[in-house]
Structure 1
Amino acid sequence: MSLSGAMRTAVSGMNAQANRLGAIADNIANANTAGYKKVDTQFSSMIMPATNGTYNSGSVGTTTRYSIDSQGAFSYTKSSSDLAIDGEGFFVVSGPDGSEYLTRAGNFEVQSDGTLENAAGYTLMGYPYSSQNDPTIVINGFDGLTAINVSSGGMTAIGSSAGTLQANLPAGAAVGDVSKTSLVAFDSQGNARLLDVEYTKTGDNAWTVAMSYEGETVLDPVALTFDTDGELISPDSLTTLPLDLAGTELASLDIDISGSSQLGAAFEVMTGKIDGSAASDVSGYEISADGVLSLIYANGKVEPKFRIAMANVQSPNNLTPLPGNVYAASNDSGVVVIGYAGGGSFGEIMDSALEDSNVDLAEELTNMIQAQRIYTANSKVFQTGSELLETLVNLKR
């Protein structure tokens, strides 16, 4: 056996264990990195053919294998912008260079412009919300994606369209007696409009009801009839006329009056409410399991705005890892397929949660001890070869 060959083999062994230690160091350093996927070092032998009965020592090579498809445990947080994927798939994020990447790191924070950026500086991407159209499956591309923005809705107002008005009309009123009340409705721009309601006794068990806004009629007198028990016979509801109001509109209102009565008591409104609301700004947001991001307005309106994009590849472990805990597609990973959470091969999105690193510290420390021992053993082989070579050289002295 060649002494120099044995020394070269020992050196390759030390290099291999040094590579393994480098991978272990990365894993331990990122044990608390959200969405981090551990790396393993795989070994392969390189055997040299024997010649004339002489054994030629070979060497050992290393390759790197990533466990990207291995899901980590979940940690729950108090931040609704923290996101985790329960199942397969990746978030699509845009880097500082404007290119799109894949990641499992969902520790996003809302920025001053309303976008969601994770700890590595990558911006969460998605599609404008549509209740009818799924995204077109994209091969090797991210066309149509836009940055998710939780403050893009601006202010909003909800115009009134329906309501309820239930009143008791005094059974002892004389013909011609009038009872009045009012209701607040909102026009299409969120301005409050006060509607005057007027009930007039027209006969036994008979009244009319009319409505107006600042003297303009929105409901011509409608006859109300009651039975001998004072319960309303007809009609069950009222429909007002729409009004054009200097660039805005008060829409037609459907008002339920079915609970009205005529009893021997004073005029009283039991229920009087109209839907709609004044103009208000965004007060928060919520993210559903299928990735729909809805803006919540101060007036209570919830409006879907974006749908978070998900991506996957045929062989996730062959993705190319890049700085910032992100991945890019490679020839071996297969093409990137875009979709939505909860559909196909894509997992569901969990808010107020983070996927932990899949590093097992006990396993890594065990591997570190093994690497140390094997490195030391290889160094002993090198040292022994060096001593034998020195002995061989000294034979000439």
Structure 2
Amino acid sequence: MLRSMYAGVSGLNAHQQMMDVTGNNISNVNTVGFKSSRVTFKEMLSQTIKGASAPQDNRAGTNPQQVGLGVSLGSIDTDMSSGNLQSTEKTSDAAIQGDGFFVLRNGNNTVYTRAGNFDFDRNGNLYSTSTGLLVQGWLADQNGEYSDFNAQNVQDIVLQQQINATATDQVSYAKNLDADATNAFSILEQSLELDNGTDSDNLEFSLTPVEGMHNVWDYTLTADDSSTVINSGTDELTGQIRLDNDGNLVEMTKGDLTTGTSITGASGISVDVKGSGAVNLDVASIGDNLNDEYLIDDSSVASGTHTVNMTYEQDALRNIAVDVYDSQGGKHTVVVPLEKTANNEWTISDSEISVDGVVATPAPTLGGDHVITFDKNGNISSGQTVDLSFTPAGPDVAQTIELDFSNLTQFAGSMTANFDNVNGYANGSLESFSFTENGDIVGSYDNGLTKVLAKIALAKFQNPAGLTRKEGVFQTSSNSGDPELGASSTGGFGTLAPSKLEMSNANLAQEFTNMITAQRGFQANSKLITTSDEMLQELVNLKR
């Protein structure tokens, strides 16, 4: 009877501990990142009254006779399964989806948590708002890159509040230059009704671009009357015209440019009107600009009476403007004019490149005209890079920027060539930040720069249930194993869920069931003690 009484006492103690664990789970049902626990019991040491015997001769063996001495606590196991995620819309909150723990520094000690309710203090330190401990991670360099993700270089995460100006030293260009791009040269108006005093005739001037040749056009000058003779030939004069990219006349010939004769200058065209007398027409001189100017003019009568007036527009041109920065953060606009100068050839004129609209002293320079050529497949074959030098007024020191055209293409179609990437920036102050799924903290500055600043460290263990709880965080124990540190989304570590928190994984339905079970178990053990007491009372009453 005394054994049964003490067994009941052990049952009371065990079920009281079960109720304690259940109560703790229920009280932390809204604790961020909380991991619930469960209790398991085990039978205490049994007292053997009679040992077991083996079968002998015709007698069967007997089993041992043992009386149990009660129940004891077998284990309190931590459930490390993930809780549900709750959206908070707070940019400094983060939850872990999958395995891993956030790493916090407590003085010289390191502790771990699943609670990602973080914020930044006035010094820019990322810390846990529930514990005040500093979050650990890796800081990125100026290029947003990391050296290595290991425990040796993990440190406090501090956001860079100010970013110093950095001079631009490289601009890269990409996309397409139109292989079919041509400059527009057309007739604005013409008036060629010629009269030599005896007879008159009307001439018609026409123009057609030469396919496969840059800035070359075929022309035809035809008389209405077949008896009119032009330049001692027939009633029709044919040839070619070449202009430079600015619309200046390079050559106008009777016949093609390679074998024909030049007719530029005064009285370049002689028209014998119906065989009764000549009218001389002037042709523009080499170097004359033909944009809204005369190609052909009448020299025998008042100037401008008999004319062919032309218009020219440079369409085979791509001006690309990009903002660059000097060493003091001053912004400058560089305009690079890419002019088509031949088939598969584009030229940047050193005299036309500008910085802040300035092409004069101190002149920005490429060291001479820069030619970019493309192969038959539309890929760049030469002129991939060139250095631009200029002296910004603020620092008053020469600055060199590499212009990289290696990603340009030349295909027939749209003219989309533009700058692709430019480094350098003005000084700026941090305006906002955000977390990414791979654990990066990205800062946005008022100078328009978005920069990777740091990465949050995660830790994982061989036996996470073996961690020891202490003041809302976990510490390593002899059975948890040593922590392995790494970055989110790599090597079996979970991913980060920005602006979310992991809720408690305590299951209320299960906890209430456990509470009822603990209550009934406690009640039954209480009855065991009272029943044993009644039996002892009956024993005492035998002596009356």
What interval of TM-score do these two structures reach, taking the shorter chain for normalisation? 0.7 to 0.9
**C-alpha spacing 1:128/1:33, structure 2 compared with 1 (3 Å):** same
**C-alpha spacing 1:370/1:293, structure 2 compared with 1 (3 Å):** same
Q: What's the CA shift string for 1:242-270, capped at 9, x where partnerless? A: 437647664426398x9xxxxxxxxxxxx
Unaligned 5+ runs, structure 2: 52-64, 178-182, 184-244, 250-285, 290-320, 338-346, 372-381, 409-417
Task: Report what 2:401 is aligned to.
Answer: 252
Identity of matched residues, %: 28
Distance 1:176 1:298 in 2: 51
Q: CA deviation at 1:116?
A: 1.9
Q: Is the 8 A contact 1:153 1:295 kept in 2?
A: no
Task: Report what 1:268 is aligned to.
Answer: none
Distance 1:274 1:385 in 2: 87
Amino acid in structure 2 at the alignment position of 1:279: N
Distance 1:209 1:25 in 2: 80
Task: Report what 2:352 is aligned to.
Answer: 209
Task: Report what 1:22 is aligned to.
Answer: 20
Distance 2:91 2:487 in 1: 19
Q: Is the 8 A contact 1:210 1:222 kept in 2?
A: no
Alignment of 1:338-349 (within 5 A): 338-349=485-496
**C-alpha spacing 1:197/1:384, structure 2 compared with 1 (3 Å):** closer
Question: What CA RMSD, in Å, does the superposition of the two structures yield over aligned residues?
Answer: 4.2
Q: What's the CA shift string for 1:357-386, capped at 9, x where partnerless? A: 111100000110111111111101111112
Distance 1:323 1:7 in 2: 38
Q: CA deviation at 1:340?
A: 1.6
Distance 1:57 1:184 in 2: 86
Q: What's the CA shift string for 1:83-138, capped at 9, x where partnerless? A: 1111111111112x4411111111112222212222222221012236464334xx
Distance 2:95 2:131 in 1: 16
Q: What's the CA shift string for 1:56-102, capped at 9, x where partnerless? A: 4411111333334311221122012111111111111112x441111
**C-alpha spacing 1:175/1:188, structure 2 compared with 1 (3 Å):** farther
Distance 1:237 1:58 in 2: 89
**C-alpha spacing 1:143/1:392, structure 2 compared with 1 (3 Å):** farther
Distance 1:238 1:291 in 2: 38
Task: Report what 1:144 is aligned to.
Answer: 153
Amino acid in structure 2 at the alignment position of 1:104: R
Alignment of 1:300-379 (within 5 A): 300-324=448-472, 326-379=473-526
Alignment of 1:51-200 (within 5 A): 51=49, 56-95=67-106, 97-118=107-128, 119-129=130-140, 131=145, 133-136=147-150, 142-149=151-158, 151-160=159-168, 161-162=170-171, 171=247, 185-193=324-332
Larger RCO: 1 or 2 (CA < 8 Å, sep 6+):
1
Q: CA deviation at 1:183?
A: 7.9
Distance 2:84 2:431 in 1: 32
The reply on whether 1:295 has 2:451 as its aligned counterpart is: no
**Structure 1 range deviating more: 339-348 or 357-366:** 339-348
Q: CA deviation at 1:322?
A: 1.3
Amino acid in structure 2 at the alignment position of 1:112: R
Q: CA deviation at 1:51?
A: 2.5
Task: Report what 2:432 is aligned to.
Answer: 284
Distance 1:223 1:7 in 2: 102
Q: Is the 8 A contact 1:91 1:103 kept in 2?
A: yes
Task: Report what 1:261 is aligned to.
Answer: none
**C-alpha spacing 1:190/1:248, structure 2 compared with 1 (3 Å):** farther
Q: What's the CA shift string for 1:177-220, capped at 9, x where partnerless? A: 9xxxx98642022123477999xxxxxxx985154668312226
Distance 2:528 2:322 in 1: 95
**C-alpha spacing 1:13/1:272, structure 2 compared with 1 (3 Å):** closer
For the residue of structure 2 that corresponds to 1:209, the secondary structure is coil
Amino acid in structure 2 at the alignment position of 1:33: T
Q: CA deviation at 1:158?
A: 4.6
Q: CA deviation at 1:335?
A: 1.6
For the residue of structure 1 that corresponds to 2:521, the secondary structure is helix
For the residue of structure 2 that corresponds to 1:391, the secondary structure is helix
**Aligned counterpart for 1:41 among listed residues 34, 39, 42:** 39
Amino acid in structure 2 at the alignment position of 1:49: Q
**C-alpha spacing 1:153/1:63, structure 2 compared with 1 (3 Å):** farther
Distance 2:139 2:323 in 1: 34
Q: Is the 8 A contact 1:46 1:61 kept in 2?
A: yes
Alignment of 1:256-267 (within 5 A): none
Q: Is the 8 A contact 1:184 1:274 kept in 2?
A: no
Distance 1:52 1:66 in 2: 36
**C-alpha spacing 1:55/1:67, structure 2 compared with 1 (3 Å):** closer
Q: Is the 8 A contact 1:156 1:297 kept in 2?
A: no
Unaligned 5+ runs, structure 1: 137-141, 199-205, 225-233, 259-270
For the residue of structure 1 that corresponds to 2:46, the secondary structure is coil
Q: CA deviation at 1:315?
A: 0.9
Q: CA deviation at 1:284?
A: 1.8
Amino acid in structure 1 at the alignment position of 2:403: D
Q: Is the 8 A contact 1:293 1:305 kept in 2?
A: yes
**C-alpha spacing 1:42/1:171, structure 2 compared with 1 (3 Å):** same
Task: Report what 1:230 is aligned to.
Answer: none
Q: Is the 8 A contact 1:240 1:253 kept in 2?
A: yes
For the residue of structure 2 that corresponds to 1:157, the secondary structure is coil
Q: Is the 8 A contact 1:286 1:294 kept in 2?
A: yes
Please say which structure displays the higher CA radius of gyration.
2
| Number of corresponding residues | 367
Distance 1:170 1:195 in 2: 21
- Using structure 2 for the length normalisation, give the TM-score: 0.58
Q: Is the 8 A contact 2:389 2:398 kept in 1?
A: no
